[in-house]
Structure 1
Amino acid sequence: MRRLAPHAAILVIALAGCRAQDATSAPPTPAAVAASAASGEIRVTRVAGGLEHPWAVLPLPDGRFLVTERPGRLRYVERDGKLSAPLAGVPEVWAQGQGGLLDVVAAPDFATSRRIWLSYAEPGPNGTAGTAVGYATLGSDRIDGFTRVYQQQPKLEGPNHFGSRIAFDREGHVFISQGERNDRPTAQKLDMLQGKLVRLNLDGSIPRDNPFVGRSDARPEIWSYGHRNMQSLAVDPRTGRVWEAEHGPRGGDEVNLPQPGKNYGWPIASHGLDYALPRAYPETQGTEVAGTEPPYHVWKKSPGLSGMAFYTGRPQSRWNDSLFIGALADRNLIRLTLEGDRIVSEERLLDDRRARIRDVRVGTDGAVYVLTDDDKDGELLRLDPPA
């Protein structure tokens, strides 16, 4: 990674776009700042702050944003950065550990329906919880008619690995990613929904061509299995192909292009290590195991992958044909350059902010919008690409 020279100007601060080792850079300010990157100078603007563990951001056609906060709040961010009061009508969430209110996305027909989709940790009996998904109509100060269309079954104890992201394909299906609830064997059990990528029709019914439909030993919602904790999910606008990324344990974060009925290995195949011991988990047989799919792309050291967004259809931009992924552990934004489906290079942005990047979305204006995860001052940032 190259070390980059600072730019001197009023309210313009040098930020390293690629990874730098010094920690002496100035703290972020609410004003726009110049950020040097290998691809050229970008501009970083703080749109809003003061968020509590923000988890997902949805740019809206009118220039505002919707943001989820993990404790269970859904808010508007106005164009001037002002936060609205929490919207009413949000379902009850299980806001412990990594649980809470998670993803928010617009329905494919949002322009006419005003429908949004939410994922969240849903409380169950005796302290259990599981990932759930539903939709509602967006209003000025509330969401109306919330309808749950998916529940992870069975609900389990424990505070970790809920996932979850939502994405729509071109054929009228919704994909839902989720975690294995930190219960490793569940990812391989087809009669349980933990550690599975799920595919449904938009009304919540099960597509007839799902790979396990008709099997008595498997849940028909399942599209693929053997996943750990999928916090990244997006559909490539160029091809309609679904991409997902997930956390490895200690090493082995991976990107997959999940295919129907395929087993993506966790925990029997993994590049990661046990958190407590300098070896793999007991179930892990190796990095590649017969009957499982190898990762499409893997990191030996875990960045802590979170939100994912494609930047395509803008040939005039130096970021065209990129895949952005947030990094929680490495505290930066990953930009993967694509040639078709092939990942040809990697760049790290926002390194000097030292912020956990929870979500990333691309606006219709060509800007990239990023959420930083913090318990008191989570930020919404705007990144304008190099000229």
Structure 2
Amino acid sequence: MYCANWLRASALLAGLLLAVPARADVPVTTSDAWVGTTVARGLAHPWGLAFLPDGRMLVTERPGRLRIVTTSGVVSPPVTGVPDVYAAGQGGLLDVALDPIFADNRLVYLSYAEAGRTGQAGTAVARGRLVENDGKAWLEGLQVIFRQLPKVDGSVHFGSRLVFAGDGTLFVTLGERYQRDKAQDLGTHLGKVVRIWPDGRIPADNPFAGRKDALPEIWSYGHRNPQGAALRPGTGALWTVEHGARGGDEINIPRAGGNYGWPVITYGRDYTGLRIGEGTAKAGMLQPVYYWDPSIAPSGMAFYTGTRYPGWRGSLFVGALKDMMLVRLTLSGDRIVAEERLLRDGKRRIRDVRQGPDGWLYLLTDEDAGEILRLQPKR
């Protein structure tokens, strides 16, 4: 029933989204009223952050380390028992998420670039039980629950956000590994969002389950490199943000079975300046909710539900790598109606955005000596 409802919604919305421009002219403002206060420093290219029930943070470092960071900013020695990673280019240890019933089972999920044959790699997801004893921490019983197929050459476009849905299934965003045409190929996981159960089993109501010409894990396709994902409060719908090429960064609401067009349609151009694909719209391909041109290089996404920031409840936040800022987006229904750019003077690559249990927003900076920042008003 869940998937059937999504499919019906997708069919109804497809015509609508094709008819409506992906981005209306919205006001874009800049605010210098906020500052990123350092909580912790000295992290090597931190990529993903998850809050433990006691307020401490699990943070991944792309070279292949998992850390526990206290509320006062003390960084632990590496947690042992993490998977071996392909740490090259954009690859390495990537996102981290807690099981919805972590308090009972202590399961932690990690996405990462996994090596295959010489020079080949793909995104994988593993889980293990977090054990802490006598000042040490490790993952016990590590199990790989998903592997992107096929593994290919290259060290870019791993995607890799992990989001648990309200029904307990797990969404995994996957880049097309710079194999553009494979984003339209349902026989691969390249350029897809997949949906699995926490143990790796395939939900029977996935949109392509039972089809011989498609991999059953696939939820949506035609994506380039989605590095941000979050559930919309109130609706429970998955939202994603993905990198375009030279322009064409997109925010999407991946519907069951939806085709989001890459590389057939896009609002960006190739790095050479040449056109990609056939234009910006095509029948049967869904439009983004919003796009940036030129690119801001988005990564990390969070909806705000707290009260620390007056007037910001319901806003969508997106980090930017190339443009080194935090973007706040105002929504009306599923449309973005305003954009506010924060932390422009900080000159930090924002890799991830998370709301903490204390109601503050926390950011990761993707640098050799990366930091955890707390967004606070300037004094």
TM-score w.r.t. the length of structure 2 is 0.88
- SS of structure 2 residue aligned to 1:187: helix
Q: How does 1:188-337 map to 2 (within 5 A)?
A: 188-276=184-272, 278-281=273-276, 284-312=277-305, 314=307, 317-337=310-330
Deviation (angstroms), 1:340: 3.1
> Does the Cα contact within 8 Å between 1:317 and 1:385 map onto a contact in 2?
no
Deviation (angstroms), 1:237: 2.0
CA distance in 2, matches of 1:166, 1:272: 26
CA distance in 1, matches of 2:189, 2:279: 24
**1:325-349, CA deviations, whole angstroms, 9 ceiling, x for partnerless residues?**
1100110001111233232211111
**1:4-57, CA deviations, whole angstroms, 9 ceiling, x for partnerless residues?**
xxxxxxxxxxxxx964xxxxxxxxxxxxxxxx64xxx44532001111111011
339, 350, 359: which one aligns with 1:346: 339
330, 353, 364: which one aligns with 2:357: 364
CA distance in 1, matches of 2:160, 2:228: 8
- SS of structure 2 residue aligned to 1:112: helix
- SS of structure 1 residue aligned to 2:223: coil
| Distance change in 2, residues 1:56/1:263 (3 Å) | same
2:367 maps to 374
> Does the Cα contact within 8 Å between 2:247 and 2:295 map onto a contact in 1?
yes
CA distance in 1, matches of 2:306, 2:36: 22
Q: How does 1:145-164 map to 2 (within 5 A)?
A: 145-164=141-160
> Does the Cα contact within 8 Å between 1:65 and 1:78 map onto a contact in 2?
yes
Q: Which residues of structure 1 form unaligned runs of 5+?
A: 1-16, 20-35
**1:130-178, CA deviations, whole angstroms, 9 ceiling, x for partnerless residues?**
0001211112211111111100011101011001100011112110001
Deviation (angstroms), 1:316: 7.7
Q: How does 1:74-223 map to 2 (within 5 A)?
A: 74-140=66-132, 141-223=137-219
CA distance in 1, matches of 2:39, 2:306: 25
CA distance in 2, matches of 1:341, 1:169: 18
CA distance in 2, matches of 1:132, 1:177: 11
CA distance in 2, matches of 1:339, 1:72: 40
| Counterpart residue type for residue 343 of structure 2 | L
| Distance change in 2, residues 1:350/1:171 (3 Å) | same
Relative contact order, higher structure (CA 8 A, sep 6+): 2
CA distance in 1, matches of 2:186, 2:378: 46
Task: Report whether the alignment pairs 1:50 with 2:42.
Answer: yes
CA distance in 2, matches of 1:340, 1:111: 34
- SS of structure 2 residue aligned to 1:111: helix
**1:230-287, CA deviations, whole angstroms, 9 ceiling, x for partnerless residues?**
10111112210100110000000000001111110000001111112x2213xx0001
Identity of aligned residues (%): 54
| Distance change in 2, residues 1:309/1:189 (3 Å) | same
> Does the Cα contact within 8 Å between 2:39 and 2:72 map onto a contact in 1?
yes
> Does the Cα contact within 8 Å between 1:226 and 1:267 map onto a contact in 2?
yes
Q: Which residues of structure 2 form unaligned runs of 5+?
A: 1-27
- SS of structure 1 residue aligned to 2:156: coil
CA distance in 1, matches of 2:42, 2:206: 42
What RMSD, in angstroms, separates the aligned Cα atoms of the two structures?
1.8
**1:282-326, CA deviations, whole angstroms, 9 ceiling, x for partnerless residues?**
xx0001112211111111111101011110254983211111111
| More moved, 139-148 vs 258-267 | 139-148
> Does the Cα contact within 8 Å between 2:34 and 2:377 map onto a contact in 1?
yes
CA distance in 2, matches of 1:258, 1:88: 35
> Does the Cα contact within 8 Å between 1:317 and 1:386 map onto a contact in 2?
no
CA distance in 1, matches of 2:259, 2:170: 20
